[in-house]
Structure 1
Amino acid sequence: PRCHFSYQLSVISYQFLAVSFKLSVFSTSSCSFGIKNTEYSFFYPLKRGDFRPQFFGKGKGRYRSFTYPQIKLNCIEGNKINLPKIGKVKLIQHRLIPEGLTIKSVTISRKADGYYVSLSLEYKSVPALTTNVEPTLKNTLGIDMELKEFLVTSEGESVPIPHKYRKSQQRLKTLQKGLSRKKKGSKRWLNSVKAVAKQHKKIADKRKDFHFKTANELLSKAEVIAHENLNIKGQALTSLSKSINDAGWGQFLTILTVKAGNAGQKTIAVNPKNTSQDCSNCGEKVPKKLNIRTHSCPHCGIVIDRDLNAAINIKNRAVGHSVLKARGARCNSRAAKRESLHYSASLVWEYVTQLNFTKSH
């Protein structure tokens, strides 16, 4: 039979009373929040019919974080944070908490290079932003994402791919070679595992920083950003998987969508069919192979770059100047709403600091 949240919470409460000497190191609120997250991730997708719930073992899928849904307002004192049942822990603050904000919850997460604390802050005077922007030819910018360049805009500008993973392959090769020569389970093997994980995190952080800066630059140029509704998961299974994963299209589009929503702007995903084949000037279809990088239309005589032609077609479809119109705004999709919970900052701001887990007395 299904164990509801209320039943599991009552069991946890009884355990705290019955064997309090063993569970005294745990916080009741953090345990209840973990049960709520487990129920949401296990039963809600099944209710929607997305997939069958699956239990993960000790490796992939296990929790690497826990949350305090309630905490004292003055929990941060200087360079220390006072956590329930743990005590005062030293931390490295990368910025101060703005005045007038209230701490709502605290999440402790473990990553490859240490522990992090994320504070969810509430500012009641922040108005709720609405995205009522209608796409026009003046306020819309189309982007075509490729593997030769990271993206090409409808204005003719291009952003090169930084190739963060490929540039670090030699370093990863050295670390993984050293890991393979260590005895599994030994202290040196564990140190090598941590070194490889730190290198992967360093690559991911650089890529994420590039995505944030690129999204910020695009949103400063237009109110509406139009892009193709790509099947990124399907394309990542092809022979170009390394290049696609190195570019990080999915993460970039998620960041772009959430940042646009927070700024009162919009992103629109259009049908990607024949964006490179159709002429952006006359609308006629001009078939060409992938190795042909120039669009030359025999009907109207226009000659432009293939990616620029695709970006202009994407912009026209978002505005509505094409037979194949946009499928809809990405900000209204279920995946974007679910992912925006980790990035959204319209009413709740995230405040992240690194922890030094040496309990002070």
Structure 2
Amino acid sequence: MRTSYQYKLRPNKQQIIQLEQWLSMLRSQYNYLLSDRFNWYEFNRCSVNACPLVCHIPILRDNPNYHTQQNALPQLKKDRPWYAAIHSQVLQNVVKRVELTFERFLKGDSNGKRSGRPRFKSSSQYSTFTYSQMKPDCISNNTIALPKFGKVKIILHRQIPDGFKIKTCSLTRKADGYYATFSLEDKTVPTIKPNFNADKIVGIDLGLKEFFTDSNGLAVPIPQHYRNAQKRLKVVQKNVSRAKKGSNRRNKAVKKLGKQHKKVTDKRRDFHFKTANTLLKNFDVVVHEDLNVKSLSRTRLAKSVHDAGWSSFISILSNKAENAGLLVIGVNPYSTSQDCSKCGEKVSKKLHERWHDCKNCGCSLDRDHNAAINILNRAEGHPVLKAQRFLSNSRIS
């Protein structure tokens, strides 16, 4: 099992200068390797169905790949000795990042979905470098020992759990400082509980009026962190717009704006974690709608959808459930608000109609509560729940 923990760093002034130098050099190397890939791509391709009458055929060169670009790193340190100050694993990780980016552009990911043309990174866009290996005792006395960098103060607000080993360490520059993100591994695999309590299965309907309403009728209010911070963000954004580009005043305003946006993000993420913890403490199985958030974010409700952060919440909920041996199930969201949860009859409702009244069976309840019950009912065919039901019946008999 893999998980990640993030801690804030407290580097001194000299270490901050060194961090910025490393990021600048790594960004230059990233852009150089990416341009090398583009040069090969442009000079070694031609259209299949067309060829100009007069053309110059260049000398074809081998495709630069991960191994060839990695093998060129020793020569880089000879030509540019200042790169020798950077740890070799950090430089190798830059090559790996270029490889992944370019492969997704040409071939796509595991699902065959291609990404857009990779872009060259500016100084503000390249903010992370990674050590692919770390010693088990790299953290001691609130300091972390980074190879070829030195010891940096770290705020250990929580201890690394027993049984987990540090696999990688990524240093990231954010609006309010520098952070270290550890990728942790525990070879033991958590197993799903062999028996679920029938009273501890709940369905949740995600919404914009309430963050979610569960099948028991409990509604969790939506905090709307971004909308509440808009007034302050507007003032700071004006300061950025009025300042001259490239001036110190503008740079300070940009940093201040970044901090304000990070506050909103941190508040939203804290709410997601606390809400997920509350759900998993009270229930063994959580059933939710498998929403297409990407499509919803292109509608007129885009700001509210992004402010709610449904995808982030479901991701956090799923990860926490997996670590605890619990179960999170996604079901088809089609017509959950229109179908009656008692008789199954379709009761058409517009978006502003917030109450469900079924003339067929007389069911009358809140629209979101009705949808949550439908979501819970649609999970009955899940293989794990079927197996659990079979085990329960066999014990009774």
**Number of the residue aligned with 2:8:** none
Alignment of 1:286 onto 2:351: no
What is the letter of the counterpart of residue 178 of structure 1? N
> CA-atom RMSD, angstroms?
2.6
Q: Give 1:41 deviation, angstroms.
A: 3.8
Alignment of 1:80 onto 2:140: no
Q: Give 1:327 deviation, angstroms.
A: 12
**Number of the residue aligned with 1:272:** 333
Change (3 A) 1:6 1:175: same
Selected match of 1:176 from 233, 237, 240: 237
Alignment of 1:157 onto 2:208: no
Q: Mean alpha-carbon deviation: is it higher for 59-68 or for 204-213?
A: 59-68
**Number of the residue aligned with 1:113:** 176
CA distance in 2, matches of 1:43, 1:310: 42
- How far does the alpha carbon of each residue in 1:8-62 deviate from its partner, in whole angstroms, 9 at most, with x for none? 111113323x236221221111111232233234315626420145212335994
1:270, 1:327 within 8 Å by CA — same for their partners in 2?
no
CA distance in 2, matches of 1:56, 1:133: 48
**Number of the residue aligned with 2:153:** 90
**Number of the residue aligned with 2:134:** 71
**Number of the residue aligned with 1:21:** 81
Question: What secondary structure sits across from 1:298 in the alignment?
Answer: coil
What is the letter of the counterpart of residue 26 of structure 1? I
Q: Mean alpha-carbon deviation: is it higher for 30-39 or for 61-70?
A: 61-70
Q: Mean alpha-carbon deviation: is it higher for 21-30 or for 141-150?
A: 21-30
What is the letter of the counterpart of residue 148 of structure 2? K
Bigger Rg, structure 1 or 2:
2
CA distance in 2, matches of 1:99, 1:328: 29
Q: Give 1:133 deviation, angstroms.
A: 6.2
CA distance in 1, matches of 2:195, 2:100: 35
Runs of 4+ residues over 4 Å off in structure 1: 59-62, 97-101, 132-137, 326-329
Change (3 A) 1:304 1:101: closer
Unaligned runs of 5+ residues in structure 2 are: 1-61, 386-397
Identity of aligned residues (%): 46
CA distance in 2, matches of 1:236, 1:98: 37
Alignment of 1:191 onto 2:239: no
CA distance in 1, matches of 2:334, 2:155: 49
What's the TM-score, normalizing by structure 2? 0.74
CA distance in 2, matches of 1:70, 1:7: 22
- How far does the alpha carbon of each residue in 1:135-166 deviate from its partner, in whole angstroms, 9 at most, with x for none? 88544210001110000000110100001011
For residues 309-320 of structure 1, what are the structure 2 equivalents within 5 Å? 309-320=370-381
CA distance in 1, matches of 2:116, 2:248: 35
CA distance in 2, matches of 1:307, 1:29: 51
What is the letter of the counterpart of residue 171 of structure 2? I
1:133, 1:265 within 8 Å by CA — same for their partners in 2?
no
**Number of the residue aligned with 1:58:** 121
Selected match of 1:296 from 357, 360, 385: 357
Q: Give 1:303 deviation, angstroms.
A: 0.9
Change (3 A) 1:132 1:89: closer
**Number of the residue aligned with 1:206:** 267
What is the letter of the counterpart of residue 22 of structure 1? W
Aligned residues: 321
What is the letter of the counterpart of residue 172 of structure 2? S
Selected match of 1:37 from 75, 97, 100: 97
**Number of the residue aligned with 1:355:** none
Selected match of 1:247 from 308, 326, 330: 308
CA distance in 1, matches of 2:80, 2:101: 28
CA distance in 2, matches of 1:258, 1:92: 24
Question: What secondary structure sits across from 2:210 in the alignment?
Answer: coil
1:135, 1:318 within 8 Å by CA — same for their partners in 2?
no
Question: What secondary structure sits across from 1:283 in the alignment?
Answer: coil
Change (3 A) 1:27 1:158: same
Q: Mean alpha-carbon deviation: is it higher for 155-164 or for 77-86?
A: 77-86
Q: Give 1:91 deviation, angstroms.
A: 2.7
**Number of the residue aligned with 2:285:** 224
CA distance in 1, matches of 2:383, 2:347: 23
Higher normalized helix content (fraction of residues): 2
Change (3 A) 1:227 1:73: closer
1:142, 1:312 within 8 Å by CA — same for their partners in 2?
yes
Structure number with higher relative contact order (C-alpha < 8 Å, ≥ 6 residues apart): 1
Alignment of 1:46 onto 2:108: yes
Change (3 A) 1:151 1:117: same
Unaligned runs of 5+ residues in structure 1 are: 321-325, 330-361
Question: What secondary structure sits across from 1:252 in the alignment?
Answer: helix
CA distance in 2, matches of 1:327, 1:242: 37
- How far does the alpha carbon of each residue in 1:305-337 deviate from its partner, in whole angstroms, 9 at most, with x for none? 1110000000001114xxxxx7999xxxxxxxx
1:133, 1:223 within 8 Å by CA — same for their partners in 2?
no
Q: Give 1:180 deviation, angstroms.
A: 1.5
Q: Give 1:4 deviation, angstroms.
A: 2.3
Question: What secondary structure sits across from 2:170 in the alignment?
Answer: strand
2:197, 2:284 within 8 Å by CA — same for their partners in 1?
no
**Number of the residue aligned with 1:358:** none
What is the letter of the counterpart of residue 242 of structure 2? R
